[in-house]
Amino acid sequence: MTVRVLLFASYADAVGKNELTLELDDGSLVADVVTRVREMAGGRALPPAPLLAVNAAYAPPSTVVRAGDEVAIIPPVAGG
């Protein structure tokens, strides 16, 4: 299945992209998305357990990803 992955701020700079698509096995977790991104060039700048969101809401790393989901890897936030 295909999922869309969003990167932001320092994570987007590290990987050189702010959006990518991944092919994942059925039953994959959002934690597996992080593992895959960390294997990419520059991906080691991401921590092993960053904040994650699925479809615009925070989600734990154990969340099962579904086809068409939008997974976001969230750097430390600094609004305000």
Partner 1 sequence: MSAARLTSSAIDVAALTREVAAGDRGAVSIFLGTVRNSNEGRAVNGIDYSAYDAMAVAEMNRIADEASERFRGVAIALEHRIGTLQVGDVSVAIACAHAHRAQALDANRYVIEELKRRVPIWKREHYLDGTSEWVDPLRRPAEVAP
Measured CA to CA, the distance from residue 6 to residue 26 in angstroms comes to 20
Under the binding rule (CB under 8 A), the answer on residue 13 touching partner 1 is: yes
**Chosen residue from 25, 41, 62, 76 binding partner 1 by CB under 8 A:** 76
Please say whether the beta carbons of 3 and 67 come within 8 A: yes
Under the binding rule (CB under 8 A), the answer on residue 1 touching partner 1 is: no
Give the residue with the Cβ less far from partner 1, 26 or 57. 57
Stretch that binds partner 1, among 21-29, 31-39, 49-57, 60-68 (CB under 8 A): 49-57
Torsion of CA 50, 44, 77, 68, to 10 degrees: -60
- Residues 6 or more apart whose CB falls under 8 angstroms from that of 54 comprise 30, 63, 65, 69, 70, 71, 72
Under the binding rule (CB under 8 A), the answer on residue 20 touching partner 1 is: no
Give the residue with the Cβ less far from partner 1, 37 or 75. 75
Under the binding rule (CB under 8 A), the answer on residue 23 touching partner 1 is: no
